[in-house]
Structure 1
Amino acid sequence: MDILLTGASGFVGRAVLAELLGRGHRVTACCRNPEQLTIRHEHLATFAVDFNEADTVAAWWPRLQGIDAVVNCVGIIAETRNQRFEALHNQAASALFTAADRAGVGKAVQISALGADGTAESPYHVSKRTADDALRQLPLDWFVLQPSLVYGDGGQSAALFYALASLPIHCLPDGGRQFIQPVYINDVAEAVGRCLDADTTGRKTLALVGPEAITYADWLAGLRRRLGKTGATAVSIPLRYAKLAASLGRWIGEPILSPDSIAMLARGNSADVSVLTDFLGRPPVNVTSRLFERPASQAERWQAGLYFLRPAARWVIALVWLWSGVTSLFFYPHDLSYRMLADTGIEGWIAALTLYALALMDIVFGVATLCRYRIQSLLLWQCYIVFAYSIVVACRLPEFIFHPFGPLLKNLPFLVLLLVYRVLEGERP
């Protein structure tokens, strides 16, 4: 079959792409950044699309000529300034399905979410359900797949769960008694492949879940064992306080951590596994044997340990620049600053200009760091400035080299922190 796959560079999309190519299908994969696709295959074609702008039938129509089936894997776990649930989950998906029907496409597979039903309340679930309903109204063969928590290598939410599991204290909303039913990514991909088999017809909504439901507390405990850590202290947090704490996610740059996420957890995430077992012709993979009993890699352990240190690094770096600039302007005696500048060869009105310019630059660096403005270039420029400061001071004010508090030497760990944080920012999805 000729298949149009959307969201091909995402966690689920990559697995589905490999599954479809493995089944001999010809795939046209679209995503924001096709260059991120590592798969190279003779039956694979790619093109870039901005789903924020793909909200009309006309946007999809040219891409659907000669296509037999569409698979929509576009999805975000949390909203950001440039990615909204309504635009990506509903408007773009609904336009795609309508265009597919008008173009004579025979099948459509929608990766939705467990909980996107009549009782949905969160913006995430509501946006998914709206697109699901739009697809269900069309006359083509459709399949709405509703996975529970999907786990596997490269999962976007996995990093947060591992970081939470690695903490010595597990703060569990309402005791962590909520049930989830994690499903392995390969089972999700195989289910998509089965939907596209020639003998699979009809219109089905299918819950994709693992063989057994486990509590959220057991989920974190299992991940912690996998990290090679001893048991953590469990603390039950009332749901309203858990939502309040989760609202801090926006301040640490972690949109997945939000009150809506806590609300979705509170409603539970489990379903009857027998339907998926019949559909696959086998039971889905058990999370204990596939995940918990396999030790984490060094990279996974590092990621768990560094997860919450990344936002901490941003705030610390910003504080250093802001405090340096504010102190230079308002607290440190200007005559002492001018004396140090004179020792470096800068005197007169140029010294005043230099003092205020450098102080304002420090403040700008601090604010830009908090805002993550062009963060990769920004951090590199900060490295250059700190290095230049250090060289000038070492050459013209050598007494700081041998100062017992090591004010100049402390620039070295700060430089390393800037470089480490730059690497961590580069790993953001």
Structure 2
Amino acid sequence: MSAQIRRNITQPDLGNKIVVLLLGASGFIGGQLKTWLSKQPNVTLITPTREQVNFITPDWQQITAQLQGVDVVVNAIGIMSRQRQLLEQVHHTIPVKMAILAKRFHVKHWINLSALCAHPQHSVAFLSTKGQGDAQLMALADTGFRVSIARPSLVFGSGGASTAMFLGLAKLPVLILPDRGRYLIQPVHIDDVVQGLAALVLSTLVLNTNNNCDNTDRMGSELIAADTGLDNLQRSSDSEPDNKQAAEKVKRKSSNNPSNSQLINMTGSEVVSFAHYISALRIQRYQLAVPNIIPIPWWLAQMGLIMLSPISWLLSALTKGRITEAMLTTDSLRLLADGSIADNRDFIKLLGRKPLGYRQFCL
């Protein structure tokens, strides 16, 4: 993490350890979290390969084996795709099925990396599938199974796809933007996101100490077994749990203890327009003048993206992946139009301080 940024996470000195299963450790946020957790003496970190935990072609026998003896699962797997069915599987169906198994095998805490503004009814498939997954995961929470949903805004940091795109735009002297780029965003620094996720992981140490884990685990496993028909513990491990039925029944019958499920919006301390953000990057990163902005109507921007769609792969190749195919869609444009801001009081409480604002990490 950056030396210039305060990153002192207070660790509970409780004399016990937790086993953490980190999914998506090869990704931007997952990779940063892996680096941090691997240095913690109280954490035994497991980072399975894609063959061991694959949300596209899941092997439930492999997945079950990975869950043995785990205290915390951090799911940092996410994709951008034009295929709604694929998004549904990766963001919703498979994570919920895995969480049901995790609860059955005495996992105490499921931490899900989602996205700001995710909602089951959102018009953009990326956010609606994230929202559906979040809702069913939170429905599984009870006194023996804690669920935390982390929803970061646009994340700024080296290695991030959106950061590379924004820095690329910041080099341009002229920007063609719908509505002059006046849509609002609340970017967050990667270090703050990682610290927030790490704090959630380490909070499980306190959970282990304060709770009678044997009793709560037994309660949770018995509940999920009764409600999903998985009461036969010798059942073949390669079979898939029924996530829809389980989530509905657990939602009706569990204790629904509010303290055992939480949703945290991870946003920076400052709200800024898209155009001003790019200008700040241009001035502070490259010491260049404010760019000229040519406004265009939304319909023209949408038409342009539709026309670019057949050659989006070429643009991605020419920019060496700084602009991905998934970015060149009308859905991405709609996300900008909707804005990306949220109350971050819970995030401040989690960090123990205010997160950085864009003017601090544009330096």
Same fold per superposition (TM over 0.5): yes
The aligned counterpart of 2:44 is 26
Correspondences of 1:111-130 after superposition (within 5 Å): 111-117=113-119, 119-130=121-132
Cα distance change of structure 1 residues 26 and 79 upon mapping to structure 2, 3 Å threshold: farther
Q: TM-score scaled to structure 1, two decimals? A: 0.61
Is 1:63 the counterpart of 2:66 in the alignment? yes
Structure with bigger gyration radius: 1
Deviation at 1:95, TM superposition (A): 2.1
Give the secondary structure class of the aligned counterpart of 1:94. helix
The aligned counterpart of 2:221 is none
Question: For residue 199 of structure 1, what is the amino acid of its counterpart?
Answer: V
The aligned counterpart of 1:73 is 76
Is 1:277 the counterpart of 2:348 in the alignment? yes
The aligned counterpart of 1:13 is 30
Contact 1:250 1:257 in 2 (8 A): no
Contact 2:120 2:130 in 1 (8 A): no
Cα distance change of structure 1 residues 249 and 157 upon mapping to structure 2, 3 Å threshold: farther
Question: For residue 267 of structure 1, what is the amino acid of its counterpart?
Answer: D
Aligned residues: 276
Correspondences of 1:311-330 after superposition (within 5 Å): none
Q: TM-score scaled to structure 2, two decimals? A: 0.71
The aligned counterpart of 2:212 is none
Deviation at 1:199, TM superposition (A): 3.1
Of Structure 1 and Structure 2, the greater helix share is in 1
Post-superposition Cα deviations, 1:373-402, rounded to whole Å, max 9, x if no partner, equal xxxxxxxxxxxxxxxxxxxxxxxxxxxxxx
The aligned counterpart of 1:210 is 268
Contact 1:23 1:193 in 2 (8 A): no
C-alpha distance in 2 between matches for 1:244 and 1:121: 18
Give the secondary structure class of the aligned counterpart of 1:157. helix
C-alpha distance in 2 between matches for 1:122 and 1:260: 6
C-alpha distance in 2 between matches for 1:52 and 1:118: 21
Post-superposition Cα deviations, 1:287-319, rounded to whole Å, max 9, x if no partner, equal 2122x22xxxxxxxxxxxxxxxxxxxxxxxxxx
The aligned counterpart of 1:93 is 95
Cα distance change of structure 1 residues 184 and 11 upon mapping to structure 2, 3 Å threshold: same
Is 1:105 the counterpart of 2:107 in the alignment? yes
The aligned counterpart of 1:306 is none
Uncovered stretches (5+) of structure 2, i.e. residues with no partner = 1-17, 208-258, 314-323
- Give the alignment partner of residue 50 of structure 1, picking from 47, 51, 54: 54
Give the secondary structure class of the aligned counterpart of 1:210. coil
Higher relative contact order (CA 8 A, sep 6+): 2
RMSD of equivalent CA atoms: 2.1
Is 1:289 the counterpart of 2:345 in the alignment? no
Deviation at 1:194, TM superposition (A): 1.3
Cα distance change of structure 1 residues 48 and 230 upon mapping to structure 2, 3 Å threshold: farther
Question: For residue 14 of structure 1, what is the amino acid of its counterpart?
Answer: G
Counting aligned pairs with the same residue, the percent is 30
Post-superposition Cα deviations, 1:42-93, rounded to whole Å, max 9, x if no partner, equal xxxxx75432112x75552111010001000001234479x93122222222
Contact 2:312 2:328 in 1 (8 A): no
Post-superposition Cα deviations, 1:220-261, rounded to whole Å, max 9, x if no partner, equal 112222133222110122112212222315513131221000
Contact 2:78 2:91 in 1 (8 A): yes
Question: For residue 288 of structure 1, what is the amino acid of its counterpart?
Answer: R
Contact 1:5 1:30 in 2 (8 A): yes
Contact 1:151 1:184 in 2 (8 A): yes
Give the secondary structure class of the aligned counterpart of 1:163. helix
Deviation at 1:183, TM superposition (A): 0.7
Contact 1:57 1:95 in 2 (8 A): no
